[in-house]
């Protein structure tokens, strides 16, 4: 059950029950059972109703829908500024987070200047955590992971909404980071935790990164990827296996990237890619032998 008290002032009907039968908040594509989502258009409502795991919809007061046609299994709650108040409700859940004591395998080596949260961290066998690394609660490192000096693992990314006065409103990040075995994260890199409690940012096995790399919230990075220095993978993008990202490359958010692609230095990936493409600048080529 999720309390609606944090957004009581935004409810269009103040007689609404102030608990919602939902386990977690999320977008319509998020995993989890009994999700609470938001809708700012009829299309968003239809998309939400097509998902069997959506149980509650925060519906923006501006949207005109035929409520009698909505299944009785889905509760619709009309609110002012549904998107903003969805994230207000989300942020209120930070106080509900609970973590067990951290578990660190005795074979792993952690520099004396590194910070590892005493709660919510799991570190496997033969890991190496170098100087001035920070590992926050909600992070799992499998075996043989190397985190080079100055990295921050499990930080909040930048996700900004706008409040009623037009001021920036930051979204809390309540999810996790999961780094699979034999990954190496280069110096001064950042791997952000995902936004929602039931989700995780993932870095696949044998992936290697250079320095100053940012893997943002909710990214799903497959196996054996190679990220050179300065690469930025934006939020909620899914990437397959065996890709190369050259120095300074940027991959936009919410994309689906296949496997065995070659993204040259300084390039920007702004659209979905299937397998075996080459990106130079913003141009995409099938025949990698051209370069």
The pLDDT tens digits of the residues spanning 137-161 come to 999 999 999 999 999 999 999 999 9
Checking if the pLDDT of 9 tops 70, the result is yes
Among 99, 77, 102, 62, smallest CA distance to 17 is for 77
pLDDT, position 146: 98
Q: Which of 96, 111, 133 is the last residue of a domain?
A: 96
Cα of 38 vs its chain's centroid, Å: 18
Domain that holds residue 18: 2-96
The pLDDT tens digits of the residues spanning 108-126 come to 999 999 999 999 999 999 9
pLDDT range class, residue 60, cuts 50, 70, 90:
very high
CATH number of domain containing 261: 2.160.10.10
User: 179 and 37, same structural domain?
Assistant: no
pLDDT, position 284: 64
Residue 68: phi and psi, rounded to 5, are: -60, -25
Whole-angstrom distance, CA of residue 154 vs CA of residue 252 = 20
The pLDDT tens digits of the residues spanning 189-221 come to 999 999 999 999 999 999 999 999 999 999 999
Whole-angstrom distance, CA of residue 135 vs CA of residue 98 = 17
What is the rounded average pLDDT of the residues 88-107?
Answer: 95
CATH number of domain containing 16: 3.40.1390
Q: Which of 96, 129, 148 is the last residue of a domain?
A: 96
DSSP for 210-262?
-TT-EE-TT-EE-TT-EE-TT-EE-TT-EE-SS-EE-TT-EE-TT-EE-SS-E
What number of other Cβ atoms are within 10 A of residue 281's Cβ? 10
User: 119 and 57, same structural domain?
Assistant: no
User: 183 and 281, same structural domain?
Assistant: yes
User: 269 and 129, same structural domain?
Assistant: yes
111 is known as an active-site residue: no
Whole-angstrom distance, CA of residue 263 vs CA of residue 282 = 10
The mean pLDDT of the chain is 93
Q: Which of 38, 67, 96 is the last residue of a domain?
A: 96
Two structure tokens written together for 67: 């409520």
User: 242 and 166, same structural domain?
Assistant: yes
DSSP state of 196: S
User: 175 and 32, same structural domain?
Assistant: no
Checking if the pLDDT of 177 tops 60, the result is yes
pLDDT, position 28: 87
User: 219 and 107, same structural domain?
Assistant: yes
Per the CB < 8 A criterion, the answer to whether 177 and 154 are in contact is yes
User: 66 and 119, same structural domain?
Assistant: no
User: 131 and 62, same structural domain?
Assistant: no
Based on the structure, what is the number of domains in the chain?
Answer: 2
């Amino acid at each position: 059950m999720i309390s609606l008290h944090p957004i009581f002032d935004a409810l269009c009907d103040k007689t609404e029950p102030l608990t919602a039968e939902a386990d977690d908040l999320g977008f319509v594509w998020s995993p989890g059972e009994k999700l609470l989502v938001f809708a700012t258009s009829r299309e968003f409502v239809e998309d939400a109703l097509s998902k069997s795991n959506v149980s509650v919809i925060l519906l923006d007061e501006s949207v005109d829908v035929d409520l009698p046609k909505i299944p009785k299994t889905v509760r619709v709650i009309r609110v002012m500024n549904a998107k903003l108040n969805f994230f207000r409700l989300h942020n209120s859940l930070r106080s509900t987070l609970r973590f067990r004591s951290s578990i660190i395998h005795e074979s792993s080596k952690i520099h004396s200047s590194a910070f590892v949260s005493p709660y919510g961290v799991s570190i496997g066998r033969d890991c190496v955590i170098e100087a001035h690394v920070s590992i926050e609660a909600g992070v799992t490192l499998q075996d043989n992971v190397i985190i080079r000096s100055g990295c921050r693992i499990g930080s909040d990314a930048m996700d900004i909404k706008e409040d009623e006065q037009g001021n920036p409103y930051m979204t809390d990040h309540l999810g996790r980071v999961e780094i699979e075995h034999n990954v190496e994260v280069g110096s001064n890199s950042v791997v952000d935790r995902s936004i929602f409690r039931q989700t995780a940012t993932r870095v696949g096995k044998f992936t290697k990164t250079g320095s100053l790399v940012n893997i943002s919230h909710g990214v799903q990075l497959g196996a054996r990827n190679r990220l050179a220095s300065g690469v930025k993978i934006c939020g909620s993008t899914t990437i397959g296996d065996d890709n190369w990202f050259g120095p300074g490359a940027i991959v936009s958010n919410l994309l689906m990237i296949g496997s065995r692609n070659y993204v040259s230095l300084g390039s920007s990936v702004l659209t979905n890619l299937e397998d075996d493409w080459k990106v130079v600048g913003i141009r995409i080529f099938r025949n990698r032998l051209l370069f």
